[in-house]
């Protein structure tokens, strides 16, 4: 059983590592668009982020409290680079957990199916 556990730990780590780089790419793309003035107003950006949060909550029945807190903190302004990095980590970790839930459900289904 330890071999399976080690393998699952490896897969989880590899997934997190790959997701981190995807997340960085998405953030960089958003910054690139903002730098070239292809972004909506603050009000519109907030509305779109809030819509995405609500979609996740309604369609997947997940806790989005961490994402709501990130939005509230960003709206307060005056963030240091470290604070922005911490908020990025909160969003990244939330996304990883969200995606891993699907993987876990798949694994449970496969294990149940084989019994």
The set of long-range contacts for 53-61, using a CB threshold of 8 Å and a minimum separation of 24, is 56/98, 60/98
What are the structural domain ranges in the chain?
A: 2-114
Residue with tokens 């960003």: 74
From first to last of its 115 residues, the chain has per-residue pLDDT tens of 567 788 778 888 888 888 988 898 898 888 888 878 777 788 888 888 999 999 999 999 999 999 999 999 999 999 999 999 999 999 999 998 998 887 777 677 666 666 5
Q: How far apart are CA 9 and CA 103, in angstroms?
A: 13
């Amino acid at each position: 059983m330890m071999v399976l556990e080690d393998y699952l730990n490896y897969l989880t780590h590899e997934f997190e590592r790959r997701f981190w780089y995807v997340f960085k790419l998405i953030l960089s793309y958003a910054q690139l668009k903002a730098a070239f003035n292809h972004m909506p107003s603050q009000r519109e950006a907030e509305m779109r982020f809030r819509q995405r949060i609500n979609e996740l909550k309604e369609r997947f029945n997940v806790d989005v409290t961490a994402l709501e807190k990130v939005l509230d903190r960003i709206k307060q302004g005056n963030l240091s680079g470290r604070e922005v990095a911490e908020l990025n980590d909160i969003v990244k970790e939330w996304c990883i957990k969200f995606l891993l839930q699907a993987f876990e459900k798949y694994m449970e289904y496969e294990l149940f199916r084989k019994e």
